[in-house]
Amino acid sequence: MPALVIVGAQWGDEGKGKIVHYLSRGADFVVRYQGGNNAGHTVVFDGKKFALHLIPSGILFPGVHNVIGNGLVVSPKAFRDEVLMLQKRGVRSRGRLHLSLAAHVILPYHIYLDTLREEGGRGIGTTKKGIGPCYEDKVARIGIRVCDYLEPETFRALVTQNLNVRAAELSRIKPVKAIAEEVFKDYDELRKFLAPFACDTSELLAKARGAAKNLLLESAQGAMLDLDFGTYPFVTSSNPIAGGACVGSGIPPQAISRVMGVTKAYTTRVGLGPFPTEIDGKVATYIREKGGEYGTTTGRPRRIGWLDLPQLRSAIRFSGIDSLVMTKLDTLSNIHPIKVCTAYRYKGKKLTSFPVSRRAQLEVEPVYESFPGFSGDLSGVRKFSDLPSTARHYVEQVERLAGIPVSIVSVGQSREQTIVRDARTVWA
């Protein structure tokens, strides 16, 4: 039974949601394994746009089961609101959306702490959704899991304990008693809503594997936001790389058969932190507007840069990516020339991979290679051979420089706007 992992190969926002959605038709289970509702996927299905934050985009296919794994942090309110949004739009989740009992829950005080730090001079550009403080509680072993949330006595005792631990910081925002009242305000309603979805998802996936079901595992964010391998400290609080799929879902490493990395034809980043190929000016504005480069979760304009091969090579290395999906190729149409960073220069030396040092990450100078641009509307192209010759050349040169094949090319948001170059890489 194949288990395919889809990872973001840049700083997130690469278009993973569309690719997961494209591949979901051939999957039996689609699994999110880390992050929270700080992530955002915009998916076009039957001509309609869906903005998803917690729930895997496989939910749009009636026969597919969707799992929110133990590696996530889950806001009960955000979970309920997303389920109800889908229900209102004709997508039912009951019976095929499964929430791990071991996932940790985000509570109002996590959001207060996140906002306090972002606005108090300690920020790194988070979405202020409480993700980081919730993961902090998890690591500090004072976290509250879904299984605890479903037990009123356990939950109340843990909340009281945690508010005492956080009292000094929280009291800068509002009285701790008022925060406690906010935590419990809708608790009974939310607990009852979550209960039918909650289960031991690791056991569920083990049974699925035993029944030879197809598993598709998806990351949130991207490899360069990985807590260990990203641009620390400007990273997320979990591990989006492929290794996180096992820890965040409860499947063993030998279950993973393939890893696909999703990269844009250029690079974007949201929030603070190093971004070696960042550009400003008319080209950046053109790409941002044509590509709709605004955050799904926050609406923030994304920072724009040329494709960064040293960064991409590093993501390929530490995620074990064996093939790439290139999205947003159509966005580069009418840009002449197109640049690609093939290496960095740092203190007189040439670097071909992304440095670990935070100082080096900020100070490297990109070495560019220019490629001929292409023109025209690519959104209707369905065969690689029908792309302009210079567009094909660009994709082929990225393959050469990255050292692995680009097996899928995306030229738009909808499922249909997908060019499959190697049918062996998909099961759809």
Which of the residues are catalytic? Answer: 13, 41
Angle at 296 between CA 258 and CA 293, to 5 degrees: 90
Evaluate whether 334 touches 368 at the Cβ level (below 8 Å). no
Q: At what angle do helices 187-194 and 152-165 cross, to 10 degrees?
A: 120
| Cα of 115 vs its chain's centroid, Å | 21
For the record, the structure tokens of 359 come out as 């100082």
For the record, the structure tokens of 188 come out as 């009974």
- Residue 202 neighbours by CB distance under 10 Å: 17
Q: Which residues contact 163 (CB under 8 A, 6 or more apart)?
A: 109, 170, 176, 179, 180
Q: Which residues, in sequence order, are bridge partners of residue 52? A: 41
Query: Could you give phi then psi for residue 396, rounded to 5 degrees?
Result: -65, -35
- Residue 294 neighbours by CB distance under 10 Å: 15
Q: Please tell me the distance from the alpha carbon of residue 200 to that of residue 98, in angstroms, as a whole number.
A: 9
The CA–CA distances, whole Å, from 160 to 135, 154, 164, 177, 310 equal 18, 10, 6, 10, 48
What is the distance in angstroms between the CA of the first residue and the CA of the last residue of the chain?
Answer: 15
Q: In what helix (H) or strand (E) does residue 153 lie, and over which residues does it extend?
A: helix 152-165
| Cα of 315 vs its chain's centroid, Å | 14
Query: Could you give phi then psi for residue 220, rounded to 5 degrees?
Result: -105, 165
Q: At what angle do helices 176-185 and 187-194 cross, to 10 degrees?
A: 40
Q: Which residues, in sequence order, are bridge partners of residue 406? A: 324
Query: Could you give phi then psi for residue 347, rounded to 5 degrees?
Result: 50, 45
CA dihedral of 215, 220, 223, 229, whole degrees rounded to 10: -100
User: How many contiguous H segments (helices) and E segments (strands) does the chain have?
Assistant: 15, 21
Place of tokens 């109002």: 108
Q: Please tell me the distance from the alpha carbon of residue 394 to that of residue 278, in angstroms, as a whole number.
A: 20
